[in-house]
């Protein structure tokens, strides 16, 4: 039996490098609470991501929650966001006492359709929260124009976009704040981890307090906070992985280019690619299985699964259709998001995936062409 192939596989540094990184902890016993490794990782990330300010967090979800909380948005305010995202984005909005308003996406790259935002702005709109889904850069220029026109903050969920640059700028430098995830399944990880990037220097203190129970000093708690601190073991993993991110990206690039070569001209397979003027991080390889393929996405997904290859229907169902949200928030027509959600398939992609396996996966996929009618 061949080894199963999952949509991703966490990269790990050589074990000795990690052990060297954590060795000093047996001496210091400073295991969490903004230790040396935390500080070092925070500063190195700030430089690597080319952002003005950065606050490390325990994970991507809490980064979103802390970012929204730090913006001090009015309770009950509406947040214009995308249904084509991981559920975390929407949970973070609701857990801050805010209300999601879903905006449709563009078929080309599945990011929020910036031309559909304005129609959703009301006097209750408190912010815009787009997602650079698959690392595809949103229409940041138009979104900023609208934000300026209506005086709205922009919070980007950049969980998929680690290391992406656009016009020479770090992706996290667009909008007011951007949130990253360093979960083990992401292109860059610290086991669990996340960060909030920002421009306003005051946010460093605000976020520091929010992630540390609102504690100001030994005897003073000045506000309500949470515990969203990254521990030293995670910071150590992040530092080690940061030393190897260049290699990981090169390896992923080879895999992605192989898929591209094998699948690009196939009728019924639509590539979901980001804008040409942004760099790519090869975090995911999403395709749409359209009618011309002669077989549905689910049939392709099942055929791969029978061979031990596990793609992901990422994102199906739409976040707005999940049981906890369905029919609760503004009913906006989302034809493109729905179309994409029914046809999306994310193929396995990670640095260690062998090109022979990529050929096998593409082969199984192509064998399904035209089979739909016969099943
Ligand atoms: C992974 C992810 C998150 C949450 O990050 P965690 O580190 O897993 O908490 C949020 N938004 C998107 C789009 C994600 O993919």
Of the three residues 218, 240, 262, the one that is the final residue of a domain is: 240
In the structure, what pLDDT confidence band is assigned to residue 63 with cuts at 50, 70 and 90?
very high
Do residue 104 and residue 216 come from a single domain?
yes
Ligand 1 closest atom vs CA 92 = 10
The answer to whether position 121 is within a domain reads: yes
Residue 2 domain-assigned (yes or no):
no
Least confident piece of the model among 107-111, 227-231, 321-325, 338-342: 321-325
Residues 207 and 265 in one domain: no
* 269-271 sheet: strands from edge to edge: 269-271, 285-289, 344-347
Q: Which tokens is 138 given?
A: 């949103």
Do residues 359 and 234 both lie within one domain?
no
Is residue 356 located within the same domain as residue 369? yes
Indicate the pLDDT class of residue 198, thresholds 50, 70 and 90. very high
Residue 330 in any domain: the answer is yes
Q: What is the CATH number of the domain that holds 281?
A: 3.90.1150.10
Same domain flag for 92 and 212: yes
Same-domain check for residues 219 and 282: no
Q: Is residue 7 part of a domain?
A: no
Query: pLDDT > 70: what percent of the chain?
Result: 98
The pLDDT of residue 375 is above 60? no
Average pLDDT over residues 24-41: 98
Q: Does some domain include residue 1?
A: no
- The residue among 240, 271, 295 that closes a domain is 240
124 and 272 co-located in one domain: no
Give residue 93 CA to ligand 1 midpoint distance, Å: 13
Task: Tell me how many domains the chain contains.
Answer: 2
Position 357 in a domain: yes
> Is residue 9, in this structure, part of any structural domain at all?
no
Predicted pLDDT of residue 178: 98
Q: How confident is the model at residue 240 (pLDDT cuts 50, 70, 90)?
A: very high
Specify whether 231 is located in the same domain as 251: no
Q: What is the residue range of 325's domain?
A: 244-374
Q: What is the Å distance from ligand 1's center to 159 Cα?
A: 5
| Nearest protein CA to atom 2 of ligand 1, as residue | 159
Which pLDDT score, from 0 to 100, does residue 330 have? 67
Q: So what's the pLDDT on residue 326?
A: 76
Is the pLDDT at 258 greater than 70? The verdict is yes
26/146 same-domain check: yes
Domain stop point among 240, 260, 278: 240
The answer to whether residues 35 and 166 belong to one domain is yes
8 Cβ closer than 6 Å to some ligand 1 atom: no
| 241 pLDDT above the threshold of 90 | yes
We report the CATH number of the domain holding residue 180 as 3.40.640.10
- Whether residues 275 and 248 share a domain: the answer is yes
Average pLDDT, the chain: 96
Binning pLDDT at 50, 70 and 90, where does residue 49 land? very high
Residue found by looking up tokens 């976040």 in the block: 319
Ligand 1 atom with the shortest distance to the CA of 61:
9
Clarify whether residues 357 and 315 are in a common domain.
yes
Q: At what angle do helices 36-48 and 232-263 cross, to 10 degrees?
A: 30
194 lines ligand 1 (CB under 6 A): yes
What pLDDT shows up at residue 327?
A: 74
H-assigned helices in the chain: 15-22, 25-28, 36-48, 60-70, 87-94, 140-150, 202-211, 232-263, 297-306, 335-343, 355-367
For tokens 């019924």, name the residue: 268
In a domain, 194, yes or no: yes
What is the pLDDT confidence band of residue 150, given thresholds at 50, 70 and 90?
very high
| pLDDT of 374 strictly over 60 | no
pTM (predicted TM-score): 0.97
Which of 100, 112, 241 is closest to 183 using CA atoms?
241
Residue whose CB lies within 8 A of the most ligand 1 atoms, among 159, 188, 189, 191, for a mutation test: 159
């Amino acid at each position: 039996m061949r080894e199963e192939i999952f949509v991703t596989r966490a990269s790990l540094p050589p074990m000795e490098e990690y052990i060297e990184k954590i060795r000093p902890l047996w001496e210091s016993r400073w295991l969490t609470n903004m230790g040396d490794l935390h500080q070092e990782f925070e500063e190195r990330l700030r430089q690597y991501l080319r952002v003005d300010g950065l606050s490390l967090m325990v994970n991507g979800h809490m980064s979103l929650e802390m970012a929204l909380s730090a913006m001090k948005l009015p309770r009950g305010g509406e947040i214009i966001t995308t249904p084509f995202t991981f559920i975390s984005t929407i949970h973070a909005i609701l857990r801050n006492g805010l209300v999601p308003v879903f905006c449709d996406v563009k078929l080309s790259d599945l990011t929020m359709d910036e031309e559909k935002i304005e129609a959703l702005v009301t006097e209750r709109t408190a912010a815009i929260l787009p997602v650079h889904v698959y690392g595809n850069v949103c229409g940041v220029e138009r979104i900023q124009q609208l934000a300026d026109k209506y005086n709205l903050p922009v919070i980007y969920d950049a969980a998929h976009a680690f290391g992406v640059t656009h016009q020479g700028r770090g992706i996290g430098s667009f909008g007011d704040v951007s949130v990253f995830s360093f979960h083990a399944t992401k292109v860059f990880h610290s086991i669990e981890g996340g960060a909030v990037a920002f421009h306003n220097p005051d946010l460093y203190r605000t976020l520091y307090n929010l992630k540390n129970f609102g504690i100001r000093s030994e005897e003073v708690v000045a506000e309500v906070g949470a515990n969203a601190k990254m521990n030293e073991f995670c910071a150590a993993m992040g530092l080690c992985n940061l030393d190897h991110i260049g290699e990981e990206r090169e390896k992923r690039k080879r895999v992605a280019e192989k898929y591209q070569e094998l699948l690009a001209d196939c009728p019924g397979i639509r590539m979901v690619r980001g804008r040409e003027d942004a760099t790519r991080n090869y975090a995911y390889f999403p395709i749409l299985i359209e009618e011309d393929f002669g077989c549905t996405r689910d049939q392709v997904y099942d055929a791969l699964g029978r061979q031990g290859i596990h793609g992901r229907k990422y994102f199906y169902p739409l976040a707005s259709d999940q049981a906890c949200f369905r029919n609760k928030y503004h009913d906006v027509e989302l034809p493109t998001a729905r179309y994409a959600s029914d046809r999306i398939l994310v193929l396995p992609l990670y640095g260690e995936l062998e090109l022979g396996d990529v050929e096998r996966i593409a082969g199984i996929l192509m064998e399904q062409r035209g089979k739909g009618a016969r099943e």
